[in-house]
Amino acid sequence: MISDSEDSSSDPNEYTIEDYYKLVRPLWAARNINANYLNDHKLLRTLVDFSLSHSLPLKNLQKRELEIGDIIPGKINYVDTLIIKSRANDISNQGLFQYSGCFRHQFIEFCPHLAISAYLFSRFHIPDEYGSFEFILSDSATKRISLEEVKLLKGNNKLSAISYSQQHKSSINALSLSGLNYKDINLTKLLSTQDFEYTEKAISKSMDSLPHSTMLLFAGFDSFQNYNVPRNSLEPPQELLDLIFPFVNQIVPEYYNEDMIQIKDLLIMLRRSLCQDMVVIKQKYPLNPLSKSDIFNSKEFENFSKQVEDAGELDGWVHDSCFSPEDTNEDLPIDNWPTIQDPESRSELQRVVEFQTLKLKSLDNQINTYAQEQSHMYSVLSKFIETQNEVFQRQSEYIQRIQNSINGLVILMSSRNKNSFSLAQQSLQETQNYINTVESTNLKHGLDTTIDLLGKLNTTQHQQQQQQQQHIPPSNSILTNNHQIYNLHTVKSPTSKSLSPDPQLQAPMSPVQVERQRVLNRRLSRQATTLFEMWDDFKGLEKELKDHEITVTEWLKVHGSSERQFRHTRLKIIKFIEDEAQRRGSSVEYIKERLHNKMRNRLRPWTLDEVQRMLTSGKRINLDDSR
């Protein structure tokens, strides 16, 4: 079982490089990634997580703390190199930086350059399940883009690191895709498996003292003379490279610091190797998320692939760049849908298709019915509004006449005619009769119109209820030869917004406004049960509020007193960790680890609420006492 402390329990299994290949191969193939937790982004993130342990012996905590700015591009003996800067894990060197490096691997399945470039590509160019991109690179945002503090392994947002629980869940799902049970596997031991013995340390205290010979062994070669990656032989065209990370061309020394220039060089190196590696990936793993990307199905990439094929290099690239080129991926698990090759399964599939076709036709009929009803309702309301406008217009005319009558009375009263009093009395009597008549007529007309509208709406509602009862299916799913086929989502009737005569009255919000509104409506998670999840959630929200210039007061006005109280309880724990780190002169991550271990290493583990209550009551939590 994976553990955050990297403690290896006694494991009788002896793992080989073939076992590691069996672990990562289903992730690259991506034939069955519809698990509860592994979407495209998390699948690629898990590959980076595993690769950092396999090619760069980093611990889990070190991997979680890595930022994009910690990856330094370079060349050693003219070979593309990634140098990873991380904090030392041992107590004697705590707080100091250490360095490890890696070359492009002989085999794509084990290549850390490909794993990192594929994951970074997905964060910029592959939308999530909601159709949103992690980075919105508009013209104005591009000029101020900052990637130095972006975490390599993303957590809840780009500036928060992956938590222990997220890392753990992804690993469990990756093992299940490979048909392995995490309880029976020592993942730390499996990830560190190699097909060679090495005595030289893979980590150094400076970039100049990196162990080149060990780095070559990790890349699948024994010397620089024998180092040869065939897919590195052809240069991708510039028009293809410009499609990937296009903003790098605008990162210039006049406007950016040295850290961003370093990241620019990193992305330029990675996009070049990614284009070369994707020629093999598309051939070997066509269902990989990157293989389905628009960029790697573009005319520019197809021209590059054809250039490789015309040069007679394609078969050689695939054969020499895959750990087991004869594998066809047909043995990998797939969804439990019937296959076309089996006659019984074909018949079953046909029944499923017919059923779903009938459902689609039924839904289409319901949509048409709803559209007709909404059109009728719109007509009724339009007529009602038109009639009411006429009533108000007449009312305005009547008021104007009354005003004229009053003006006439004023004139009569100001004159000295002996008949003015009788004329005024006569005019007042006529005005009174006129008001009484008009008032009763308008009231009657208005009431008749309103009653008529309510009657029509009531009739329409009754018809809708009858039609909905006729269309309700007997159950939410059917069984077809032991396969459960679920219905499509229930179609909701159109809302009242469709009655608006001019849909353009509501101006659409810009992407920035939409994102700000999303952040404003975001709440602190009630599902965060561990200290790491709570910290990531709280700090992630805090960072997003700051990025969108939303004050805590403005945010609390949206959510009310319950959210204020919940935030206050979480803030108690946050402040304790930060104050304790400042008092000890150590990192926040170290204090989090100590508090997390103290909470769980008990006969009955503490919950977050219990920790908060202890802090509120003034009880001191001694992190040096393991009890």
Contact 86, 66 (CB under 8 A): yes
105-124 confidence digits (pLDDT tens): 999 999 999 999 999 999 99
The amino acid at 26: P
Concatenate the DSSP letters of all residues of 369-408 into one string.
HHHHHHHHHHHHHHHHHHHHHHHHHHHHHHHHHHHHHHHH
Q: Which of 55-69, 379-393, 472-486 shows the lowest mean pLDDT across its residues?
A: 472-486
Phi, psi (5° rounding) for residue 161?
A: -75, 160
Residues linked to residue 151 through DSSP beta bridges, in sequence order:
67
In 3D space, the residue among 525, 534, 524, 523 whose CA is nearest the CA of residue 607 turns out to be 534
Q: For tokens 């980076």, what's the residue?
A: 48
- Helix axis angle, 112-125 to 258-284, nearest 10°: 100
For residues 491-497, average pLDDT: 37
Distance (Å, whole) CA 50 – CA 177: 14
Residue 461: is its pLDDT beyond 90?
Answer: no
Helices (H), 16-107: 17-29, 40-54, 60-65
In 3D space, the residue among 62, 49, 9, 46 whose CA is nearest the CA of residue 186 turns out to be 9
**442 pLDDT band (50/70/90 cuts)?**
low
Q: What is the pLDDT of residue 70?
A: 93
> In this predicted model, which residue has the larger pLDDT, 323 or 9?
323
For residues 187-193, average pLDDT: 90
501-558 confidence digits (pLDDT tens): 444 444 566 777 878 888 888 889 888 888 888 898 899 899 989 988 899 888 888 8
Q: Percent of the chain having pLDDT more than 70?
A: 78
Which tokens is 589 given? 């991550």
Distance (Å, whole) CA 161 – CA 166: 10
Q: What is the pLDDT of residue 1?
A: 40
Contact 100, 83 (CB under 8 A): yes
**137 pLDDT band (50/70/90 cuts)?**
low
Q: For tokens 């490909």, what's the residue?
A: 114
Exposure b/e, 350-376, CB count within 10 A at least 16 = b: ebbeeeeeeeeeebeebeebbeebbee
Residue 415: is its pLDDT beyond 80?
Answer: no
> In this predicted model, which residue has the larger pLDDT, 228 or 504?
228
Q: What is the pLDDT of residue 481?
A: 38
Distance (Å, whole) CA 349 – CA 341: 11
Residue 347: is its pLDDT beyond 80?
Answer: no
349-374 confidence digits (pLDDT tens): 777 788 888 888 888 888 888 888 88
Q: What is the pLDDT of residue 341?
A: 44
> In this predicted model, which residue has the larger pLDDT, 577 or 136?
577
Q: Percent of the chain having pLDDT more than 90?
A: 27
For residues 251-257, average pLDDT: 87
Q: Which of 386-390, 465-469, 586-590 shows the lowest mean pLDDT across its residues?
A: 465-469
> In this predicted model, which residue has the larger pLDDT, 578 or 133?
578
Sign of the dihedral defined by the CA atoms of residues 205, 209, 210, 214, in that order: negative
Q: What is the pLDDT of residue 51?
A: 94
Most confident of 198-202, 292-296, 610-614: 292-296
Distance (Å, whole) CA 443 – CA 399: 15
Q: What is the pLDDT of residue 13?
A: 77
Residue 104: is its pLDDT beyond 50?
Answer: yes
200-213 confidence digits (pLDDT tens): 788 888 898 999 99
Long-range CB pairs of 611-615, under 8 A, 24+ apart, other chains included:
611/573, 612/569, 612/570, 612/572, 612/573, 615/572, 615/573, 615/576
Q: What is the pLDDT of residue 441?
A: 67
Distance (Å, whole) CA 40 – CA 47: 11
> In this predicted model, which residue has the larger pLDDT, 64 or 416?
64
Domains annotated for the chain, with CATH where assigned, are 17-321 (1.10.443.20), 343-495 (no CATH), 511-616 (no CATH)
Residue 346: is its pLDDT beyond 50?
Answer: yes
166-188 confidence digits (pLDDT tens): 888 888 888 888 888 888 888 98
- Strand 71-76: give its sheet, edge to edge: 71-76, 79-87, 97-103
pTM: 0.55
CA angle 73, 74, 80 (to 5 degrees): 95
Distance (Å, whole) CA 265 – CA 245: 11
* CB half-sphere exposure, 74, CA atoms < 13 A: 15
Residue 233: is its pLDDT beyond 70?
Answer: yes
Contact 613, 571 (CB under 8 A): no
Distance (Å, whole) CA 325 – CA 321: 8
How confident is the prediction for the chain on average, in pLDDT?
80
> In this predicted model, which residue has the larger pLDDT, 142 or 445?
445
Q: What would you measure as the largest C-alpha separation in the chain, in angstroms?
A: 129
Sign of the dihedral defined by the CA atoms of residues 198, 200, 201, 202, in that order: negative
Q: Which of 37-46, 149-158, 413-422, 528-537 shows the lowest mean pLDDT across its residues?
A: 413-422
> In this predicted model, which residue has the larger pLDDT, 434 or 276?
276
Distance (Å, whole) CA 398 – CA 203: 93
Length of the chain measured in residues: 627
Residue 139: is its pLDDT beyond 60?
Answer: no
Contact 538, 165 (CB under 8 A): no
Q: What is the pLDDT of residue 366?
A: 84
For residues 39-52, average pLDDT: 92
For residues 263-273, average pLDDT: 96
